[in-house]
């Protein structure tokens, strides 16, 4: 029995590596035609023109990174506040139902978030937020460039907001579990020394739970990078780089979802889409490697 169990567990571990290697190999082999046609310039060319047969990855890569950063800027403070309130401040009768509601929010299909964003967030942005921001901040030097543009409602900021709502439950669930798992003696010792609630959070809870918090943020980042349909509804689907938060854009996942059905087998367009998938995998690996490097420099094994 021990030998069988050891073999099954070892096989499961190697199976993950085989599956990951096979996935990377398929994307790399399928995108070889695009890399051969455009060379390394494929990664930083912003043109995506199926009519002329010229493709570049810069615009969707920029859209993926921009919407992911915006989503984390909104989601991480919100998730941290919800998790801390549920664990440290909310009454037990309230914390249970609200915590369950946050976890149920993670089970909502992404297309529902996309429809909600299209019918609720986009009109709200077009009628109120974007005109106000353009009128108030559009003339400020340097900062005004981020809020310049026609109030269509769609764009990078709208995509980031919808992604923030989607990734908040995942990040919040991890943070809440970490805060609950912390030994109460550590927290009570800090309070006994006269520390305030904010000092306990800053000097005790955050250092103790840092590895798991970074893991939760990385989980949210991966969710935001790979999201497809929700972003497709609200980002505008324009294959260009716009530095305004209101500018329409595209992401790697949304571009693949939109144009993959129209790409003939063996075509240069299909190879370019597979090359985009390979770039997305590389971005995910780089972000994961950076997070582990930060943890090691912070003294976490």
Is there a contact between 235 and 122 (Cβ–Cβ < 8 Å)?
no
Mapping DSSP to helix (H, G, I), strand (E, B) and coil, where does residue 202 land?
helix
Digitized pLDDT (tens) for each residue of the chain, 301 residues in all: 788 888 888 898 899 889 988 888 888 888 888 888 888 888 888 888 888 888 888 999 999 999 999 999 999 999 998 988 888 888 888 888 888 888 888 888 888 999 999 999 999 999 988 888 888 887 877 777 788 878 888 889 999 999 999 999 988 988 888 888 888 888 888 888 888 888 888 888 888 888 778 888 888 888 888 888 889 999 988 888 888 888 888 999 898 888 888 888 888 889 999 999 999 888 888 887 877 776 665 544 3
pLDDT value, residue 301:
39
pLDDT value, residue 300:
43
Residue 11: which residues within 8 A CB-CB, separation 6 or more?
Answer: none
* Closest CA relative to residue 267, chosen from 89, 20, 53, 65: 53
> Could you give the angle at the alpha carbon of 211 between the alpha carbons of 86 and 98, nearest 5°?
15
CATH topology of domain 1-298: MetI-like fold (1.10.3720)
CA 224 to chain CA mean position, Å:
2
State the Cα–Cα distance between residues 197 and 194, nearest whole angstrom.
10
* Closest CA relative to residue 232, chosen from 206, 204, 260: 260
* Closest CA relative to residue 59, chosen from 235, 260, 233, 210: 235
What are the angstrom distances between the C-alpha of 187 and each of 79, 81, 192, 212? 21, 18, 9, 17
Domain coordinates in residue numbering, the chain = 1-298
């Amino acid at each position: 029995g021990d030998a069988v169990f050891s073999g099954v567990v070892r096989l499961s571990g190697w199976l993950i590596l085989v599956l990951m290697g096979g996935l990377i190999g398929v994307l790399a082999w399928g995108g070889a035609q695009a890399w051969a046609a455009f060379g390394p310039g494929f990664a930083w060319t912003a043109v995506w023109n199926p009519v002329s047969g010229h493709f570049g990855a810069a615009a969707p890569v920029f859209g993926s990174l921009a919407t992911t950063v915006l989503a984390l800027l909104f989601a991480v403070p919100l998730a941290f506040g919800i998790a801390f309130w549920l664990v440290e401040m909310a009454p037990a009768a309230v914390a249970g139902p609200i915590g369950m509601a946050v976890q149920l929010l993670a089970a909502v299909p992404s297309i529902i978030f996309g429809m909600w964003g299209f019918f609720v967030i986009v009109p709200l942005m077009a009628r109120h937020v974007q005109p106000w921001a353009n009128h108030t901040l559009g003339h400020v030097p340097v900062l005004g460039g981020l809020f310049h543009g026609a109030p269509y409602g769609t764009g990078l900021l709208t995509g980031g907001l919808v992604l923030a709502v989607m990734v908040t439950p995942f990040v919040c669930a991890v943070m809440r579990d970490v805060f609950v798992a912390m030994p109460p003696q550590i927290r009570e010792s800090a309070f006994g020394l006269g520390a305030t609630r904010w000092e306990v959070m800053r000097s005790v809870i955050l250092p103790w739970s840092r590895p798991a918090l970074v893991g939760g943020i990385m989980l949210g980042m991966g969710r935001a990078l790979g999201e497809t349909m929700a972003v497709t509804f609200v980002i505008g689907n324009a294959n260009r780089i716009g530095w305004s938060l209101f500018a329409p854009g595209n992401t790697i996942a949304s571009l693949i979802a939109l144009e993959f059905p129209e790409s003939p087998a063996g075509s240069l367009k299909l190879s370019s889409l597979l090359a985009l998938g390979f770039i997305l995998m590389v971005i995910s690996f780089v972000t994961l490697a950076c997070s582990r490097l930060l943890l090691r420099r912070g003294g976490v094994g």
